[in-house]
């Protein structure tokens, strides 16, 4: 049994997956998420201190993904992911590269040189669930509305 890795309230997300074993391998082997309980059609994961539950569904029951334009990128409208420490972001990006994970959106900086500067990247798991990973240069800017420099 793993212990929660964050000191603040954790979220629970149930995620539909088409191939449970292949998707589980992506989260455990590539991303390093510890596995919790498991049944024939679902498995719990420690997703950066949060509970992620992979639920197997039939391919025709998996939702389709729409996109929105953000910074000249087609960002999947349905996505999720953790906000990492700045150095953790690069470590994970390198893990994805080492495991030949295709980026939906390559790692890049948003709001570069501004107060809300953040690194972001998107990947897709084997069941076509989209994940965004972020890291803020200054975590206090997480909900900032004014991004201009002082």
First to last CA, the chain: 47
How far is CA 136 from each of CA 3, 19, 26, 73, 108, rounded to the nearest angstrom?
25, 33, 25, 19, 12
Encode pLDDT of 82-117 as tens digits. Answer: 999 999 999 999 999 999 999 999 999 998 988 889
Give the DSSP H/E element, type plus range, for residue 22: helix 20-25
- 1-61 and 63-150 have identical folds: yes
* pLDDT at residue 13, as a whole number: 95
Q: What are 148's two structure tokens?
A: 């201009």
In angstroms, the CA 123 to CA 47 distance is 15
* pLDDT at residue 149, as a whole number: 57
Greater model confidence, 11 or 4: 11
Is residue 132 within 8 Å of residue 71, measured between CB atoms?
no
Was domain 1-61 assigned CATH 3.40.1050.10?
no
Q: For the chain, what are the domain ranges?
A: 1-61, 63-150
Q: If one looks up domain 63-150 in CATH, what number appears?
A: 3.10.180.10
| Residues belonging to the chain | 150
* pLDDT at residue 1, as a whole number: 39
The residue-averaged pLDDT of 51-80 equals: 90
pLDDT band at 77 (very low <50, low <70, confident <90, very high): confident
The residue-averaged pLDDT of 128-147 equals: 88
Encode pLDDT of 14-38 as tens digits. Answer: 999 999 999 999 999 999 999 999 9
pLDDT band at 65 (very low <50, low <70, confident <90, very high): confident
């Amino acid at each position: 049994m793993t212990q929660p890795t964050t000191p603040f309230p954790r979220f629970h997300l149930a995620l539909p997956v088409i191939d449970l074993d292949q998707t589980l391998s992506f989260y455990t082997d590539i991303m390093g998420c510890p596995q919790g309980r498991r049944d024939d059609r679902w498995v719990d994961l420690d997703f950066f201190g949060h509970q992620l539950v992979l639920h197997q569904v039939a391919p025709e029951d998996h939702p389709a993904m729409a996109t929105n334009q953000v910074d000249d990128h087609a960002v999947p409208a349905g996505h999720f992911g953790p906000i990492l420490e700045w150095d953790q972001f690069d470590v994970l990006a390198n893990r994805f590269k080492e495991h030949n994970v295709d980026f939906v959106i390559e790692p890049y900086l948003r709001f570069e040189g501004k107060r809300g500067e953040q690194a972001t990247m998107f990947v897709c798991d084997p069941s076509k669930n989209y994940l965004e990973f972020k890291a803020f240069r200054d975590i206090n800017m997480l909900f900032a509305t004014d991004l201009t420099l002082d």
